[in-house]
Amino acid sequence: MEAAQVVTSNGNADGNYQYEIISWFDSVSKNAAMVQTETLGQILHLNYGVEYLKKWFGDMKIQDMDACALESLYASLVPLASHADFEPFIQRIADGDTAPILTQQPITTLSLSSGTTEGRQKLLPFTRHSSQTTLHIYRLAAAYRSRVYPIREGGRILEFIYSSKQLKTKGGLTAGTATTHYYASEEYNIKQEKTKSFTCSPQEVIFGGDYKQSTYCHLLLGLLFWDEVELIASTFAYSIVQAFATFEEQWEEICSDIKDGTLSSRITLPRMRKAVLDIISPSPCLASQIEAICRDSKASNWYGIVPRLWPNAKYVYSIMTGSMQPYLKKLRHYAASLPLVSADYGSTEGWIGVNLDPCLPPEDVNFAVIPTFSYFEFIPLNKKKQDLTSGTVGYIEDEPVPLSQVKIGQEYELVLTTFTGLYRYRLGDVVEVAGFHNGTPKLNFIFRRELILTVNIDKNTENDLQLAVERGSEVLNKYGGELVDFTSHAEVMHQPGHYMIYWEIKGEVEERVLGECCGVMDASFVDHGYVVSRRTNSIGPLELCIVETGTFNKVLDYFIGNGAALGQFKTPRCTNNHILLRILNLCTIKRFHSTAYN
Ligand code: AMP
């Protein structure tokens, strides 16, 4: 049974729908192994004869083949691949080649992932199936949530959502983030109509393209509709924390706009201004109530501001796992007693799993794999003993296994075969099997393999850091200095977060030169998420910390003191370890802040 079929054939808003979608998931999860075999069969039959598959299958006729035989043939003929392997094929599609390269259906839209491959943003195919699965997982998760936290039909969602710009590739295809495509799709409207829950902000605010102006309008409209708001949501928790940090600064201006029915001169985008002004009208009573709450709340450092302003809200909903965990503390502060419900697990490549236990605290959430969305394989990963001291984890990999053969407690890297034309694609995420829902595994997200530096939507790998440091040290070398060792840290305790790079150097170098090294490194991170966040200052200037001679020996001593062997030691290239950071900060003798984006 394919996901999209369920949505269209049962797309009504009543309680029946919730019952039906949960029964559907029960049925596919009970038969997960068989459903997976069928899903692979569907993908391969739909895309029979495409160039990528022909490379491995040749002219072999797969149509009449038994689904189980096809599954084992597939694993034996088609190799595991990374984004780099697909890149030339996707590039040809982007450049306008309309031949059936990855899929039989022409691809007209491409997604830009926020992840990076050696500092470059990834282009991935996006099809109608992508929007349909987004709608489907949203409704499935909503059905589970409504059993615990029912919400009122016709209510509103205060959603802190933002689209990216949609660009045209050389071949005329639309490219943007997957969420942008979704907000622009028919499915997004269907979601609002069928769930009878409406976002407070109109499309002009979501698609404004300036996150500061959009945030102001989201807050303003959320407050205007205060009594209708049933939940507060965003894709990633970071956006909610950032929105309330803005609110702390701008609440008086927002109140004044509510009082007079005006719109701050901060909002300069004409379409956004018009759309918001069309909605608002003077509400002096509401403005004075909000003002009173804010004055009082400010005195307690804004603790519990969310339920005070939106007393009918049932919960806060967003991705709070993985790289979003550092924001949980602040989110809890704003939300106080309001439940935090952690959202589902997916990627630009495809959706993976749904949170079936909305009551669980975000730290304990896991995701049940949806076996109709893609064909999933799992590469067993076993930690290498000698890498215990390293910031990145080294693994010994085993042969990939199908979904039906995963084991509880084992860590795996996920491999996807998707309806959008990715075949045995290594996602790079490390997950652990926490248990099963019927026959489908429930996954704990561990981390993105090799992802080391992240503040919000940015994602930089060890390789990206290495490249940036190399560029910076070229400048250092030019002036007679030498880099002895380095490490890094993503500072997220203060807003805006920023990257800190610690350098131990040899030789006398002028401060001016070190300032230049700092700027060069900042400008060398070309990950799209980082660049956009730096431009908008939602990530602050990179900080270069020069540590005194011998600091990295102290770091080594610390690891040795904790049982590491000298022969096994590798400097962690990125660290959140408090003791290590204390050593590094105590030993810092000079600090430089990048001016690269001034
Ligand atoms: P992107 O495709 O650039 O949007 O990034 C997708 C990646 O974000 C995934 O591969 C994960 O590494 C991470 N991610 C997505 N959803 C979750 C989640 N619920 N929990 C933790 N990490 C997530």
- Ligand 1, residues 347, 452, 453, 455: which to mutate, most atoms within 8 A of Cβ? 347
When pLDDT is cut at 50, 70 and 90, the band that residue 509 belongs to is: very high
Q: Which residue has the least CA distance to atom 13 on ligand 1?
A: 347
Q: Which residue has the least CA distance to atom 3 on ligand 1?
A: 114
Among the atoms of ligand 1, which is closest to the Cα of residue 529? 3
Pick from 60-64, 192-196, 529-533: least confident: 192-196
pLDDT of residue 533: 93
pLDDT at 62 over 80: yes
Pick from 22-26, 349-353, 554-558: least confident: 554-558
pLDDT at 168 over 70: yes
pLDDT at 116 over 50: no
Tokens 């790998």, located at residue = 461
CA torsion angle 217 220 225 227 (round to 10): 140
Q: Which residue has the least CA distance to atom 19 on ligand 1?
A: 345
Convert the pLDDT of each residue in 2-50 to its tens digit: 333 333 333 344 567 788 999 999 999 999 999 999 999 999 999 999 9
Mean pLDDT of 236-248: 88
pLDDT at 429 over 80: yes
Q: Which residue has the least CA distance to atom 7 on ligand 1?
A: 347
Burial 528-549 (b: 16+ CB within 10 A, else e): bbbbbbbeeebbbbbbbbbbee
CA torsion angle 292 295 301 303 (round to 10): 0
Give residue ranges with CB within 6 A of ligand 1: 113-115, 319, 321-322, 344-348, 427, 429, 445, 448
User: What separation in Å is there between the alpha carbon of 345 and the centre of ligand 1?
Assistant: 6
pLDDT at 56 over 70: yes
Convert the pLDDT of each residue in 210-235 to its tens digit: 888 999 999 999 999 999 999 999 98
Contact 431, 446 (CB under 8 A): yes
State the number of CA atoms in the 13 A half-sphere of 80 facing the CB: 15
Among the atoms of ligand 1, which is closest to the Cα of residue 345? 19
- Ligand 1, residues 341, 445, 450, 457: which to mutate, most atoms within 8 A of Cβ? 445
Q: Which residue has the least CA distance to atom 21 on ligand 1?
A: 322
Q: Which residue has the least CA distance to atom 20 on ligand 1?
A: 321
pLDDT at 314 over 70: yes
User: What separation in Å is there between the alpha carbon of 115 and the centre of ligand 1?
Assistant: 9
Tokens of residue 378, six digits: 């799992």
Q: How far apart are CA 204 and CA 415, in angstroms?
A: 37
pLDDT of residue 249: 93
Among the atoms of ligand 1, which is closest to the Cα of residue 349? 2
User: What separation in Å is there between the alpha carbon of 548 and the centre of ligand 1?
Assistant: 37
Among the atoms of ligand 1, which is closest to the Cα of residue 355? 19
Among the atoms of ligand 1, which is closest to the Cα of residue 115? 3
pTM, two decimals, is: 0.77
Average pLDDT over all residues of the chain: 89
* Distance, C-alpha 101 to centroid of its chain: 28
Nearest Cα residue to 188 out of 146, 128, 141: 128
